[in-house]
């Protein structure tokens, strides 16, 4: 066969490939909200300036300032958004309490099932999108962002199927776990009414991270505020006026996510984000590279679930202590307050992950190195602030939930330990975020697995029962585990080769572009897409 002139089919394929590349380069970039991130040219200049000071000495303040501004533009809105999403669950419990002790206990048990079986695994899976979105955005490969959005939604929908089956049969499962028949029936009823929320949550999470990566965290906050404002009226409407009781509270929670999803999609359409990032709806797009997503998602899901389940283990052990009604009440109060306020630490970690992922995609390793150092200090500052609140207001915090003197005394003692926990939790969350932003999810998962269960839970048991420290021993065990995790992650962080991490990110970006070309122009481009996405 003659080799001098390409066949018409190959010529057509090449022309379509060039058209796609030209479209990627010429189409306008969707404008991020003012002040959300430094501009690409500014980031490049800051990276060059940081590269001249590799030892970290005398880094100009304006380099740190620009990165801190980028972090705070994400962290503040995300922390408030997370608080509102947690507060909506407390509102449901407040209204269920009006129906009596059994509906309240059933609702509380149902929300525990929601957190353990739905929120933690789905959110853990969504964390895989942090580096994938960030690298694509940093490299201005917007179609890859759209492709990862499609894959994320489809994969989370598939995971929603077994979760939905679990919820539908929750009453039977809870009875097998020797729960009270009345409480198990109430929890099962609540979960059946809440069943559509599984798919909504699986859709909201990837869309929310899609907007967050592009600097629209403030819009996410506005959407949460609007949805939260409707929570009480909708709960009253469905519970009282529609006469649905517990089911009404579940429907109101479902409506929160429904309104939130509609608003988030509206923001994406209004700002042109979906139009710019949409690669077309094709199985060649959303059904490809699942191994890449799952290679990051499974470790993330695993590590997050391990941490959540460790907390539940501490709750179970608290029930083994003398006077369990007091110990469980005090532990529950401290746990819920810590979950609400520690959201600031978690938001700092996720914001750090988003920013580091973007800098990796933009091939700016030196700026990522400087930014990560600044983010760790921010994490320490937030941890110190929350710890100070716990230490100073410990009696008042417990008194908000109980007037029982013994519970207040136990809770106040526990908050002293919580203060030290919060201090370590701040920088530890940032370190996890930095590693996730550079696509090292497996490292985080292995660290949690190697520390939480072999060290944390045994230490908690021995301190609580052998050392007779009671519930303080349970939380001290968690504190020991957290400190060991921090030490391990910090050593890994110090040994990070930022140039190698950036090069690894560039290989993934190039491979993602090849996959998109293959999906757009057909089998002729197949040979260009053979590079593994994660090397």
At residue 132, the pLDDT reads 87
At residue 53, the pLDDT reads 54
* DSSP assigned state of 238: I
Low-confidence ranges of the chain (pLDDT < 50): 1-27, 34-35, 41, 521-535
Burial of 100 (0-12, 13-18, 19+ CB in 10 A): exposed
CA 385 vs. chain centroid, Å, equals 22
Rounded Cα distance, 179 and 297, in Å:
32
* DSSP assigned state of 216: -
Asked if residues 467 and 473 have their Cβ atoms less than 8 Å apart, the reply is yes
Rounded Cα distance, 192 and 130, in Å:
31
Rounded Cα distance, 274 and 149, in Å:
10
Signed CA dihedral, 243, 246, 247, 251: sign only: positive
Rounded Cα distance, 13 and 522, in Å:
8
Rounded Cα distance, 480 and 477, in Å:
5
For tokens 């600097």, the residue is 215
For tokens 């009696």, the residue is 395
Rounded Cα distance, 349 and 433, in Å:
5
One DSSP character per residue, 168-184 reads HTHHHHHHHTT--HHHH
Burial of 325 (0-12, 13-18, 19+ CB in 10 A): exposed
At residue 59, the pLDDT reads 67
HEC per residue, 450-470: HHHHHHHHHHHHHHHHHCCCC
Asked if residues 108 and 180 have their Cβ atoms less than 8 Å apart, the reply is no
Asked if residues 363 and 506 have their Cβ atoms less than 8 Å apart, the reply is yes
At residue 434, the pLDDT reads 93
Q: In Å, how far are 164, 180, 342, 438, 467 from 106, measured between CA atoms?
A: 18, 9, 26, 41, 34
Asked if residues 173 and 162 have their Cβ atoms less than 8 Å apart, the reply is no
Asked if residues 194 and 110 have their Cβ atoms less than 8 Å apart, the reply is yes
**Residue 272, Ramachandran bin (φ over 0: left; ψ between -120 and 50: alpha; else beta):** left
pLDDT 10s digits, 208-254: 999 998 889 899 999 999 999 999 999 999 998 888 888 999 999 99
């Amino acid at each position: 066969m003659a080799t001098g002139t390409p066949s018409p089919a190959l010529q057509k394929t090449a022309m379509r490939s060039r058209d796609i590349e030209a479209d990627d380069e010429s189409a306008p970039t969707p404008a991020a909200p003012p002040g959300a991130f430094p501009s690409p040219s500014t980031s490049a200049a800051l990276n060059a300036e940081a590269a001249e000071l590799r030892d970290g000495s005398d880094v100009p303040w304006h380099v740190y300032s620009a990165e801190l501004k980028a972090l705070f533009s994400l962290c503040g809105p995300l922390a408030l958004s997370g608080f509102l999403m947690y507060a909506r669950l407390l509102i449901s419990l407040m209204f269920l309490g009006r129906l009596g002790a059994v509906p309240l206990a059933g609702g509380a048990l149902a929300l525990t099932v929601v957190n353990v079986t739905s929120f933690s695994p789905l959110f853990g899976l969504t964390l895989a999108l942090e580096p994938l979105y960030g690298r694509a955005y940093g490299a201005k490969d917007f179609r890859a962002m759209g492709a990862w959005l499609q894959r994320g939604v489809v994969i989370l929908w598939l995971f929603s199927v077994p979760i939905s089956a679990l919820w539908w049969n929750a009453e039977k499962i809870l009875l097998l776990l020797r729960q009270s028949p009345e409480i198990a029936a109430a929890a099962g009823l609540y979960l059946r009414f809440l069943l559509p929320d599984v798919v909504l949550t699986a859709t909201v999470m990837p869309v929310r991270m899609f907007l967050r990566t592009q600097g629209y965290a403030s819009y996410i906050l506005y959407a949460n505020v609007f949805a939260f404002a409707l929570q009480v009226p909708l709960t009253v409407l469905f519970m009282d006026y529609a006469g649905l009781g517990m089911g009404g509270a579940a429907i109101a929670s479902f409506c929160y996510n429904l309104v939130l999803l509609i608003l988030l999609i509206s923001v994406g359409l209004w700002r042109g984000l979906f139009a710019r990032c949409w690669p077309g709806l094709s199985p060649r797009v959303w059904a490809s590279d699942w191994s890449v997503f799952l290679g990051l998602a499974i470790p993330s899901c695993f590590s997050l679930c391990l941490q959540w389940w460790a907390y539940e283990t501490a709750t179970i052990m608290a029930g083994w202590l003398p006077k369990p009604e007091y110990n469980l009440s005090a532990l529950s109060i401290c746990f819920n307050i810590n979950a609400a306020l520690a959201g600031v630490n978690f938001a700092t970690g996720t914001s750090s992950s988003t920013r580091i992922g973007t800098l990796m995609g933009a091939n700016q390793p030196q700026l990522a190195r400087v930014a990560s150092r600044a983010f760790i200090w921010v994490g320490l500052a937030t941890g110190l602030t929350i710890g100070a609140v716990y230490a100073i207001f410990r009696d008042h915090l417990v008194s908000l939930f109980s007037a029982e003197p013994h519970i207040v005394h136990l809770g106040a003692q526990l908050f002293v330990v919580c203060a030290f926990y919060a201090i370590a939790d701040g920088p530890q969350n940032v370190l996890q975020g930095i590693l996730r932003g550079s696509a090292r999810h497996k490292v985080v998962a292995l660290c949690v697995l190697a520390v939480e269960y072999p060290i944390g839970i045994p230490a908690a048991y021995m301190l609580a029962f052998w050392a007779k420290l009671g519930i303080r021993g349970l939380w001290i065990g968690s504190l020991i585990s957290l400190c060991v995790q921090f030490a391990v992650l910090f050593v890994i962080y110090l040994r990070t080769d930022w140039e190698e991490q950036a090069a690894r990110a560039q290989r993934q970006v190039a491979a993602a572009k090849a996959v998109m070309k293959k999906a757009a122009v057909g089998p002729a481009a197949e040979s260009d897409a053979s590079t593994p996405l994660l090397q």
